[in-house]
Amino acid sequence: MAGVHPSTVSRVLRGKENIPIPEVTRQRIKKAAKDLKYLPDERARALRLGKSHTIGLVVPDISNVFFAEIAKSIEIESYKAGYTLVVCDTNEEQEKEVHFVNNLISRGVDGLIIAPVQDSDGHILDLKEKNYPFVLIDRCFEDMEANAIISDNEDAAFKAVAHLAGLGHKRVGFLSGRQNIYTIKKRLAGYRKAVKEYNLERNEALICGNGFTFESGYEATLEILLLPNPSTALLISGNIITLGAIKAILEKGLNIPDDISMIGFTDNIVSPYLVCPLTTISHPLREMGKKAFDLLIKHVESKDNLPFTEEIIKTQFHVRRSTDRVLSQVEAAW
Amino acid sequence: MAGVHPSTVSRVLRGKENIPIPEVTRQRIKKAAKDLKYLPDERARALRLGKSHTIGLVVPDISNVFFAEIAKSIEIESYKAGYTLVVCDTNEEQEKEVHFVNNLISRGVDGLIIAPVQDSDGHILDLKEKNYPFVLIDRCFEDMEANAIISDNEDAAFKAVAHLAGLGHKRVGFLSGRQNIYTIKKRLAGYRKAVKEYNLERNEALICGNGFTFESGYEATLEILLLPNPSTALLISGNIITLGAIKAILEKGLNIPDDISMIGFTDNIVSPYLVCPLTTISHPLREMGKKAFDLLIKHVESKDNLPFTEEIIKTQFHVRRSTDRVLSQVEAAW
DNA sequence: CCGTTTGAGGCAAACGATTGTAACAAGAGT
DNA sequence: ACTCTTGTTACAATCGTTTGCCTCAAACGG
């Protein structure tokens, strides 16, 4: 429409000022582009340039606020940095994760941020082998060196149990998420360490559950409540699980915190407004997202091979009403 | 590596059985592909084929469960149908929405699902003009014909207010989200209709708020509570706003539902477990997502221009404890 | 008046995959 | 012995951009 060669259009629209093209032609091209509502084909550009200015984010459940918050902050950072973010939800299914990672690479994303399902790690090792830039977030692999932004799960769990011990609890239950996941392993380690240190009841039956769903939280809680000696407190590894636990507790006619204390692993905007305002461990999710993005971009935009960085982010502990002194049967009788 | 021409590789890997290629060669190529961990370049394929098997989803806030649920169901449907979903979060900013829509088109997505910010509609009209397949979800434009999957906001709001009227409430507040949005306009219309029909107090001061944030919910609620005659019930247009409202109510030392009833517009998994189990209007979000996806794919895969479809989905009403009979001052004195 | 610089912008190759057509060889048919 | 299949695989063009290089004309210097 402007009567010039595509290459000239490209030079004008990409703003190559050093190539001499008279202002009249520039204007003619720009006007034509506007009139035609011309949008460059990013596929073709990416193909030619070998760079897509796109990054991929792979999370296990986008409908969980935990990952939604992370996604949101990475999205905001990407936008600011001129990158487009592609979000994929694996639904905690390994097969989908492999599919998405390959798919994203096929579409030429410049890098990946992954919160892995962790049923296997072959595809992650492939990434390392290909020297593909990626950052693990929230979950990493113990025996693998990689970029990772994680939180201090072990320490947080330890402190949470310590808090309960300080309130006189002797039997603390641990509602687990999927047990083969890094975060859960670490939290469990912290739990065990505190149980030992504060001399609480050691009983494998108090460690219950294997999943991040409402139902798995509900059922695991029932199992613990139906023990001959149910726990007087619960440490709960996930915010959807927490709701299942509340359901079970209410159904049994129990009161929080009088009959049972609870601590939620993962604070969110509703924690203070639940049936009983929930004591939680809170993760600075926005900060984690930003750090993961910055780290990824550093690797993407660097020519040489940077060494891997693993950063552990401190969590915070919010005491609300769901944790209180244990009422022993004797005290209760009073 | 297999010593053959790329075209032969393509034919083998795409499984063109009608082109005669001897089994030995096929195996040689497949083995090489596996050994090299070959992944086809989807950009190049999309460029050549004019089809990317990708669709774009543009939502105003992915960290809001409402849209996260929609995103999740669309993601699941896309995966099943062999499409990749690209999710973009506009943060309720018009400028970002325009950017994302253009960006997605540039990358050659086959179609778009949009929950628009609705500060303007020029970019949507462009889509129509270009005959680009798209489906609006949750929010549509009153004066524009387009594919849309929406819910019966007006009716739902009407019924909610009717429910409150039935409980004896005469002054019902309406906590609004961003007021220029289709859904809010409709809800407000339903509210006004019920106010008229049940002869409730008509007072513009009872319509309050303009945003979907926690803070805007908090402040709008305070405004209503500080009126000389505060409302005895609230209809609340959004789940984050609801939390802000609860904060304001608790801060004022009021009790739900004794001092004030509330109905939340948008049920979610926590609604039953809030300080006071919340009476809500629930949207079948997964179903809406699936319908939007199916509709989009129908348009994407059809050669001819299908007529636009607008489907209105029925909401459900969940009565929980947050709505109760109004306690008049006289009754309360008893 | 001729050679050289400079301005303006076209040409062509490349990115990687796809596909209609062509090419070449071996074998079949006459 | 020659043509005609048929089987096997290569060639070339294409998708839309980008970029190094080249061309052509006008202007300039001597």
Q: What digits encode the pLDDT tens for the residues B49-76?
A: 999 999 999 999 999 999 999 999 999 9
Contact A105 B39 (CB under 8 A): yes
| Contact residues on chain B for A103, CB-CB shorter than 8 A | 42, 84
Q: Which residues contact B236 (CB under 8 A, 6 or more apart)?
A: B175, B217, B242, B245, B262, B263, B264, B265
Question: How confident is the model at residue A331, as a pLDDT?
Answer: 54
The distance (Å) linking the CA of A3 with the C1' of C10 is 12
The answer to whether the CB atoms of A269 and B42 lie below 8 A apart is no
Q: For A29-47, write each residue's pLDDT tens digit.
A: 999 999 999 999 999 999 9
Examine the pLDDT at B331 and tell me if it is beyond 70: no
**Residue A238 Ramachandran class (φ > 0 left, ψ -120 to 50 alpha, else beta):** left
Residue B163 shares a structural domain with residue B262: yes
Cα-based distances in Å from B266 to B221, B283, B317:
18, 6, 10
Given a cut of 60, whether residue A334 has pLDDT beyond it is no
Q: What is the pLDDT of residues B99-145, one digit of tens each?
A: 999 999 999 999 999 999 999 999 999 999 999 999 999 999 999 99
Strand, helix or coil at B103? helix
Residues of chain B with C-beta less than 8 angstroms from the C-beta of A89: 71-72, 75-76
Considering the domain architecture, whether residues A290 and A275 belong to the same structural domain is answered as no
**Cβ contact B72–A79 (<8 Å):** no
Which member of A62, A79, A275 has the closest CB to residue B72? A62
Asked, for residue B72, whether it belongs to a domain, the answer is yes
Is residue B1 in a domain?
no
Average pLDDT over residues B249-270: 96
Is A44 in contact with B47 (Cβ distance < 8 A)? yes
| Mean pLDDT, chain B, integer | 94
Report whether pLDDT(B333) > 60: no
* Nearest Cα residue in chain A from B83: A103
| Distance of C1' in C22 from CA in B50, Å | 26
Q: Is the pLDDT of residue A114 over 80?
A: yes
Give percent above pLDDT 90 in chain B. Answer: 88
A1 within some domain: no
Mean pLDDT of A239-259: 96
Residues 6+ apart with CB under 8 A from B237: B174, B175, B176, B177, B183, B184, B187, B209, B265
- Asked if B25 and B164 sit in the same domain, the reply is no
Same domain, B100 and B78: yes
- Predicted local distance difference test score (pLDDT) of residue A332: 52
Residues 6+ apart with CB under 8 A from B259: B232, B249, B327
Percent of chain A topping pLDDT 70? 98
**Protein residue with the closest CA to the C1' atom of nucleotide C8:** A21
Number of folded domains that form chain B: 3
Q: Does some domain include residue A70?
A: yes
A261 and A177 fall within a common domain: yes
Shortest distance between the Cα of B131 and any Cα of chain A, in A, equals 14
The pLDDT value recorded for residue A86 is 92
Tell me: do B310 and B204 sit in the same domain.
Answer: no
- Is B235 a member of any domain? yes
B111 forms beta bridges with B55
> pLDDT (tens digit, 9 = 90+) per residue, A268-323?
999 999 999 999 999 999 999 999 999 999 999 998 889 999 999 999 999 999 99
When mean pLDDT is compared across B15-29, B138-152, B247-261, the lowest value belongs to B15-29
Mean pLDDT estimate for chain A: 94
Mean pLDDT of all residues in B263-267: 96
The beta-strand segments (E) located in chain A are: 54-59, 84-89, 111-114, 134-137, 148-151, 172-175, 207-208, 233-236, 261-265, 279-282, 310-313, 316-318
Distance CA A42, CA A48 (A): 10
- Residues A142-150: what's their mean pLDDT? 96
Q: Do A234 and A124 have their domain in common?
A: no
Does residue A160 share a domain with residue A120?
no
Question: Is B46 part of any domain?
Answer: no
Residue B327 has pLDDT above 80, yes or no: no
Domain limits at B323?
153-283+318-333
Listed residue (A161, A171, A142, A146) closest to A237, CA to CA:
A161
Nucleotides of D under 7 A from a protein CB: 7-12, 14-20
Q: Which of residues 141-180 of B touch strand C (CB under 7 A)?
A: none
pLDDT value at residue A303:
81
A306 domain residue, yes or no: yes
Q: Are residue A140 and residue A272 in the same domain, yes or no?
A: no
d(CA A244, CA A326): 22
C-alpha–C-alpha distance, residues B252 and B239, integer Å: 20
Pick the range with the lowest mean pLDDT from A61-70, B76-85, B277-286, B320-329. B320-329
For residue A236, what are the β-bridge partners? A175, A264
Nearest to B62 among A71, A214, A272 (CB): A71
Residue in chain B closest to A73 (alpha carbons) equals B63
CATH number at residue A161: 3.40.50.2300
Nearest chain B alpha carbon to A95 = B79
> What pLDDT was estimated at residue B260?
97
The whole-number Å distance from B16's CA to C25's C1' is 23
Asked if the Cβ–Cβ distance from B62 to A75 is below 8 Å, we say yes
Q: Are residues B262 and B309 both part of a single domain?
A: no
Query: Does the pLDDT value for residue B259 go beyond 90?
Result: yes
* Angstrom distance, B20 CA to D4 C1': 19
pLDDT of residue B22: 80
pLDDT tens per residue, range B187-213: 999 999 999 999 999 999 999 999 999
Report pLDDT digits (tens) over B216-244.
Answer: 999 999 999 999 999 999 999 999 999 99
Same domain, A212 and A328: yes
Longest dimension (CA), chain B: 94
| pLDDT, position A328 | 60
The residue of chain B nearest to residue A40, with distances taken between CA atoms, is: B106
pLDDT at B7: 87
Let me know whether A328 and A200 are in one domain.
Answer: yes
Q: Is residue A45 part of a domain?
A: no
